[in-house]
């Protein structure tokens, strides 16, 4: 999913910095909202579920696997391990975290065909959904989908991906979040957080964290040139152009 925001003139951004209300609507584009709040809105319980989006398998989830006509592969409950893998007879070890059940089914089918199983018909269902996950992309050492439990902050979430890459742009970190159907983005500077300029923001299930250079980051290039993220984060509501 790609997110885009409108480019705003310098005068509008400077005016928004002077607002005392919690929300400012930009006259040129009423669907774009700049928040003067210093943190992303917290999601409700329903926002942290997959909702209308396809469910992505996560670590510790239990999958029910059925392969028509093969008794040893039918009705099998398999738990995904902490690294997001599962093992299935004939198919071997499979990396399934971050995939939909349909994608897992396609992967199992491919492996069974490679093992000379003729025309395998594979069904995969989530028997028990355990993991609440966040997605980390960009300049982290191990991008991927990671489970979270309890209170998680931005720095601790990045640590789950083994930290930032050697030459990561620490001043460009974006957290995408959906609250009540509205998509938001928070722009942060990791150096600012580590220096105590502002609190380490809390991260919730279904958040997407993008570190450093990316298409998502480049969408914000005009704002990043004039907003001092070292001293304050920037919270915005996004247009969603598909």
pLDDT for 34: 57
Q: Would you state the structure tokens that stand for residue 66, as one six-digit string?
A: 């059925």
169: confidence class by pLDDT, cuts 50, 70, 90: confident
* Rounded CA separation 80/82 (Å): 7
> Would you say 59 and 80 are in contact if contact means Cβ atoms under 8 Å apart?
yes
Which residues, at least 6 apart from 62, have a Cβ–Cβ distance to it below 8 Å? 77, 78, 79, 80, 126, 127, 128, 130
- Whether residue 68 has pLDDT greater than 70: yes
- Domains in the chain and their CATH numbers? 10-50+132-237 (3.10.560.10), 62-128 (3.30.1950.10)
Which three-class secondary structure state does DSSP give residue 57? coil
* Rounded CA separation 147/61 (Å): 10
Q: Would you state the structure tokens that stand for residue 145, as one six-digit string?
A: 């989908």
- Whether residue 92 has pLDDT greater than 80: yes
Query: Quick count: other Cβ atoms within 10 Å of Cβ 58?
Result: 23
Q: Give the tens place of pLDDT for each residue, 17-42.
A: 333 333 333 333 344 455 656 788 88
Pairing relationship of beta strands 33-35 and 234-237 according to DSSP bridges: antiparallel
pLDDT for 159: 92
Tell me which residue has tokens 């991906």: 161
22 compared with 99, residue with greater pLDDT: 99
- Whether residue 6 has pLDDT greater than 50: no
pLDDT for 41: 81
DSSP state of 161: T
Q: What's the alpha-carbon Rg for the chain, to the nearest Å?
A: 21
- Whether residue 69 has pLDDT greater than 90: no
pTM of the model: 0.57
* Rounded CA separation 36/109 (Å): 50
Facing residues of 125 across strands? 64
């Amino acid at each position: 999913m790609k997110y885009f925001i409108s480019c705003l003139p310098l005068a509008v951004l400077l005016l928004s910095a002077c607002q005392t209300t919690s929300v400012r609507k930009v006259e040129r584009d009423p669907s774009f909202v700049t928040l003067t709040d210093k943190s992303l809105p917290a999601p409700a319980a329903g926002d942290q579920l997959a909702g209308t989006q396809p469910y992505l398998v996560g670590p510790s989830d239990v999958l029910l696997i059925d392969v028509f006509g093969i008794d040893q592969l039918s009705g099998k409950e398999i738990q995904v391990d902490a690294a997001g893998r599962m093992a299935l007879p004939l198919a071997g070890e499979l990396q399934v975290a971050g995939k939909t059940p349909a994608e897992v089914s396609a992967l199992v089918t491919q492996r069974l065909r490679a093992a000379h199983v003729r025309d395998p018909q594979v069904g995969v269902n989530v028997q028990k959904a355990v993991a609440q996950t966040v997605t980390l992309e960009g300049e982290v050492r191990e991008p991927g989908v990671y489970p979270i439990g309890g209170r998680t902050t931005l720095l601790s979430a990045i640590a789950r991906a083994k930290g930032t890459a050697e030459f990561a742009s620490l001043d460009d970190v974006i957290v995408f979040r959906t609250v009540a159907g509205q998509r938001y983005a928070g722009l942060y500077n990791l150096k600012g957080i580590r220096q105590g300029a502002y609190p380490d923001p809390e991260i919730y299930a279904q958040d997407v964290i993008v570190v450093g250079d990316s298409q998502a980051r480049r969408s914000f290039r005009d704002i990043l040139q004039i907003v001092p993220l070292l001293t304050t984060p920037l919270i915005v509501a996004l247009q969603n152009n598909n």
